[in-house]
């Protein structure tokens, strides 16, 4: 069911720019409309402007007008599972607390979560209603 999404995340890893950490991550997001967007992590010598693969993929989708996501796959090490960092978890929640997060080593070894399981009691757009 998630094979295509994971394959796209694995492929996106190849474009990672990680001269400092050497930690390669790829991500692929599937919109509710069935479109796919990929991303990789991109480092900067000053570290703060570094962007993770998950935020790259979502930013590409959002910049093309997509705001609702069915799932996102994250593939870091092919030896172990790589989970989204806290900033990425918050970024994913921004676009839906029911988004599926697939944490994969490959198309055969993966785990599926809802983002709300990975970031319980999150602060999202619905919390801004009184502002």
Q: What is the pLDDT of residue 19?
A: 97
7 an active-site residue? no
Q: What is the pLDDT of residues 52-98, one digit of tens each?
A: 999 999 999 999 999 999 999 999 999 999 999 999 999 999 999 99
Q: What's the rounded Cα separation, in Å, for the pair 73 and 79? A: 16
Q: Extract the tokens encoding 77.
A: 């090490």
Q: What angle do CA 15, 48, 16 make, to 5 degrees?
A: 5
Strands 110-114 and 26-31: unpaired
Q: Where are the domains of the chain?
A: 3-128
Would you say how long the chain is, in residues? 131
Strands 36-40 and 26-31: antiparallel
Say which of 54, 68, 79, 109 is annotated catalytic. Answer: 54
Q: Residue 52 half-sphere exposure, CB side, CA atoms within 13 Å?
A: 19
Q: 1.10.132.10, 3.40.50.1950, 3.20.20.100, 3.40.140.10: which CATH number matches 3-128?
A: 3.40.140.10
pTM score, whole prediction = 0.93
Residue 100 forms beta bridges with which residues? 71, 114
């Amino acid at each position: 069911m998630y094979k295509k999404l994971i394959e796209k995340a694995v492929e996106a890893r190849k474009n990672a720019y990680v001269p400092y950490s050497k930690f390669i991550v790829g991500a692929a997001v599937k919109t509710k409309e069935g479109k796919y967007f990929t991303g990789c992590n991109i480092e900067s010598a000053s570290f703060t402007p570094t962007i993770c693969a998950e935020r790259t993929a979502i930013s590409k989708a959002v910049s093309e007008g997509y705001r609702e996501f069915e799932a996102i796959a994250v593939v870091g090490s092919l030896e172990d599972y790589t989970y989204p960092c806290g900033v990425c978890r918050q970024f994913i929640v921004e676009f839906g607390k029911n988004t599926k997060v697939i944490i994969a080593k490959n198309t055969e070894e993966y785990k599926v979560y809802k983002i709300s399981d990975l970031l319980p009691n999150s602060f999202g757009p619905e919390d801004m209603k009184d502002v």
